[in-house]
Structure 1
């Protein structure tokens, strides 16, 4: 896969479609690799006249790792936050948003539509706020404004991310951990054990870097609420949220729609936190409808 080099940053990316078509760049969530985006869905969107970009965020996949940066532990960061204070992450989501602009610059793309899932949805919002001249429209999938009054993630999710667990010393341990989270994330009607195991094995074999995951999590934990700022965003926005989401319960989707003045909200029944195959067609339909109106 191609790599974009800029100073000390290397970004691994993949494209679908023709460069002269409108560009839609997808931003992954926490620890998500570009191979986790369904190629079938990306190619389908490209076949409908879009230039699609997917990429590895910093600290994941085949992009640059930031092992040299000083970093608090997750426990230290949580303690500082619980005391009502800010901690210093190794980098911020603003830095990760800047990486997206670096990639677009390197590919000589002046403006793009941006879609992000979960943490990637937050990065998308930051892009729309910090680089309004570059972002044509916004697609927020299973994400949040980060406002404090919104309901917390389900206890099973918090336990997975914040409690110590067995070191992931081999692919079997990693896949077992991720399959546990997979069952928490998805409605029983959307479970595909075989496909999920295959995806997690591929992710591990391509690039497994737990320290990068921790640094991304610290960046996410350090993010400020954005609800009030989002009201300034005037570009067309699409919000796709599931009514079964255990990470950002559906209230987050409704609130995001209230914050973004020029937005359309699509709630998908039984959708949890992710992109399971049974909803591919709905996603494509909603995204194409949004793109046709921008």
Structure 2
């Protein structure tokens, strides 16, 4: 099957029904070797499963991994909470949570619910941006389900770290993002130009194709706003991150102007034994030239965690080979 950025991958899109405590539908795709270590990919705010670039997924799958990428609630082809209150971000920032429909804990429960539907007892969890915050929440609240954690271009929820540059915010919120497909694609390209990697080439044709496909799959500005207030309302995770025992890899671009690298540094400082990889020139994206090395590092992290699980099992069950 030829996907948005021209990569052929053997996959189909499926819909998991009655997922998690909320009983929602989750659209997902499985890629790679079903017998390989399971790797769950969680995307961020305003993003869909297709925002994990197909070529990046192909790189990861080439390391013998079993990938699952999916649409969060209020994104793409998963359930959109259209009957929820209209989110009021300024009010939430001021402490009024009356328009918050859910939190990152609920999204973490969705994630674990998808594993339940797929019959997967635990997985290596990889999250980008808000997806990294959801992945942290899964590791905090459902530790038995997480074999390893990878957080990419994410933060702790502490408002003093991981800030966006004012000039990026001005692009992000400079008028409505548009209603038509062409308007939404144009806005997405403006945001990528402001927040993307300065040290790597960007394929704008790929970005435009993916933005257009995301519009076709389920453009929902109110859904994005509900995700935004959920993230704000969930607060600071820093103290709770100390309880994470899963092997953790933190990846953050030093040129990230949407989520400053102080966010990644704070995650790594808060989680015991976490490994931190700071990438010169990477912004708030997964640029094509960086994808092979990103995949290699994540795959190596997964393999180390798998080897650790085997050693722990053998130590707890003497005589078992």
The two structures have a TM-score, normalised by structure 2, of: 0.85
Secondary structure, in 3 states, of the residue corresponding to 1:190? coil
Structure 2 match to 1:226: 237
SS state at 2:144 partner: coil
- Tell me by how many angstroms 1:43 deviates: 2.5
Alignment partners' CA distance in 2, 1:134 and 1:267? 27
Matches within 5 A, 1:10-29: 10-29=25-44
Q: Does structure 2 retain, via aligned residues, the 8 Å contact 1:87–1:222?
A: no
**Which residue of 1 is the match for residue 114 of structure 2?**
103
- Measured against aligned partners, the alpha-carbon deviations of 1:163-189 in whole angstroms (never above 9, x if no partner) come to 462362211111111111000111344
Moved over 3 A (4+): 85-88
- Indicate if the aligned counterparts of 1:111 and 1:135 stay in contact, CA closer than 8 A: yes
1:55 corresponds to: 70
Any gaps of 5 or more consecutive residues in structure 2? 1-12, 306-321
Work out the number of aligned pairs and report it. 289
CA contact (8 A) 1:235 1:262 kept: no
Aligned to 1:165: 175
State the SS of the aligned residue for 2:143.
Answer: coil
The residue aligned with 2:196 is 186
C-alpha offsets along residues 181-237 of structure 1, whole Å, 9 cap, x if unaligned? 000111344332222112211211222111111111111111210111111111100
For 1:73 and 1:230, the matched residues in 2 are separated by 28
Shift of residue 74 of structure 1? 2.3
Alpha-carbon RMSD across the aligned residues, in angstroms, is 1.7
TM-score normalised to the size of structure 1? Answer: 0.93
Q: Given the alignment of the two structures, is residue 268 of structure 1 paired with residue 283 of structure 2, yes or no?
A: no
Shift of 1:86: 4.7
Deviations 1:83-132 (A, max 9, x none): xx555511111111100011000000001110000000000000000001
Pair 250,74 (structure 1): closer, same or farther in 2 beyond 3 Å: same
Instruction: Report the counterpart of residue 294 of structure 2 in structure 1.
Output: 283
Cα distance in 2 between the residues matched to 1:179 and 1:148? 27
CA–CA distance in structure 1, aligned partners of residues 193 and 110 of structure 2: 32
The CA deviation string for residues 36-78 of structure 1, in whole angstroms up to 9 with x for no partner, is: 1112221332232211000000011000010111233223323
| 1:57-206 correspondence to structure 2 within 5 Å | 57-78=72-93, 80-81=94-95, 86-150=97-161, 152-161=163-172, 163=173, 165-166=175-176, 168-188=178-198, 189-206=200-217
User: Which residue does the alignment assign to 1:4?
Assistant: 16
1:138 to partner: Cα distance: 0.2
Q: 2:274 & 2:193 partners in 1: Cα distance? A: 31
